[in-house]
Amino acid sequence: MQFDLRTLFIVLVSMYACLGFVCLLLPYRIPGSRAVTDWGIGMLLFAAGMAGIALRGAVPDVLSIVLANGLILAAFPFVMRSVRPETAPAVFAFGWLVIGAAVLAIAYFTFLQPTTRIRIVIVSLALAILVVYPVIALLAAAKESGRARRFTAACMGGIGLAMLVRAALTVVWGANQNFLASNAVQFGSLLLFGIFIVLSTLGVIWIEIEKLRAELARLAMIDPLTATLNRRAFMLEYERELSRCAREKTGLALAIFDLDHFKDVNDTHGHLVGDEVLRRVADVLRASLRGHDVLGRYGGEEFVLLMPGADAAAAQAGTERVRLAVGERPIEVGRLSIPVMLSAGVAVFGIDGSDQETLLRSADAALYRAKRGGRNRVVAAHTAPAGSPGSR
């Protein structure tokens, strides 16, 4: 049986080129993410390197051997970058060191001491070494998009294993001096390499789709103007915290904030300025909270705050701290300096309500009292007289 390596290389060139262009043109990606783009560049480098090898005998050896193998190896820094965690360094010095050493060795065993067998072993071992980092990076990041990352790590591990087997069998059985001559070891190992590359590409796209799905889920929970939890997300968090509070017998307080005279800001300066004021207020609120507090936008100019573990005194003090932080200095929007004040109502679980609705109603009634009492103040629900109105 004849194993036509030149035909295989032509097929691989076509396949890698298609994969590269698909990755570069793929529209389903997270804005700012370069993972699929980097993978696509790597595939095009593979295609260029394989094309050079397929032209062995038709172009000088410096192009068909040294440059071609160098391009194949140079694809791996892009592969590494496509799967690295966001916190990992962007430069892979060790990878480039391996590539440089391999290219110099290939040149030596091409021109000074021509040996096909050693060149095959060098390239195979270099590829096996270069694939280690992507596999480790994928497994380390498997908590996010776990199945997709483990699948891709397994496929890339298959690439390394195929190259190790190729190197070992080449040492044992040798290789034809004419690299493109019929050879079952080279044909089989390169075919496996191509199969695992295709599967790895599908895995990288799968990872990107999972990341996109997670990002869409996150955006569905975030208020786009203030980057706080939206009302739906806050209510889900509120329900979870109430359940935990009841189960573990811990404290929980709820505060509702309302920007005083915010309608005047919109009427005087316009809604764009009003939106910027809301964004700046949200930033101040976030900076004033404890690490485990939960902030959300309840609607319009109202914000809601959950304070897990807080008793009545801590809730009052925490809400007052937030009010003072917001009113400490005017909000600067362009040349405008807009003073902002907050009114707030605070309700404590077990004192002002024991379920979601009654606690909210108590905090809302306290906020109404703060507004009626002159604004720019914090009122605790348990200090409000019975029968206080619950809505404004």
Query: Is the residue at 391 inside a domain?
Result: no
The pLDDT tens digits for 293-352 are 999 999 889 999 999 988 999 999 999 999 999 988 898 888 889 999 999 999 999 888
CB atoms within 10 A of CB 96: 14
Residues 185 and 243 in one domain: no
User: What per-residue confidence (pLDDT) applies to 31?
Assistant: 64
Same domain as 158, residue 137 = yes
Written as six digits, the tokens of 125 are 């071992």
Same domain, 176 and 100: yes
**Rama region for 249: left / alpha / beta (φ>0; ψ in -120 to 50; rest):** left
262 and 197 in a common domain: no
Total-model pTM: 0.74
Q: Could you tell me the two tokens for 326?
A: 């917001």
Residues 360 and 263 in one domain: yes
Residue 237 and residue 158 share a domain: no
Question: To the nearest whole number, what is the mean pLDDT of the chain?
Answer: 88
Q: Are 185 and 7 in contact (CB under 8 A)?
A: no
Q: Tell whether 389 is covered by a domain.
A: no
Same domain, 176 and 195: yes
- The pLDDT of residue 32 is above 80: no
339 and 196 part of one domain: no
Tell me: the pLDDT tens digits for 175-207? 777 888 878 888 999 999 999 999 999 999 998
Give the count of domains, the chain.
Answer: 2
Question: Which is it for strands 378-380 and 294-299: parallel, antiparallel or unpaired?
Answer: unpaired
First to last CA, the chain: 87
Q: Residue range 113-126: average pLDDT?
A: 95
388 — pLDDT class (breaks 50, 70, 90): very low
Decide: 310 and 253 in contact? Cβ < 8 Å: yes
Q: Are 64 and 56 in contact (CB under 8 A)?
A: yes
User: Could you give the percent of the chain with pLDDT greater than 90?
Assistant: 62
Phi-psi region of 104 (alpha: psi -120 to 50; beta: other; left: phi over 0): alpha
Pairwise CA distance, residues 261 & 153, whole Å: 57
In percent, how much of the chain has pLDDT > 70? 93
Q: At residue 392, does pLDDT exceed 50?
A: no
Number of Cα atoms under 13 Å in the Cβ half of residue 164:
11
Q: At what angle do helices 68-83 and 132-140 cross, to 10 degrees?
A: 10
Q: What CATH number is given to the structural domain containing 264? A: 3.30.70.270
Element (H, E) at 254: strand 252-259
**DSSP letter, residue 23:** H
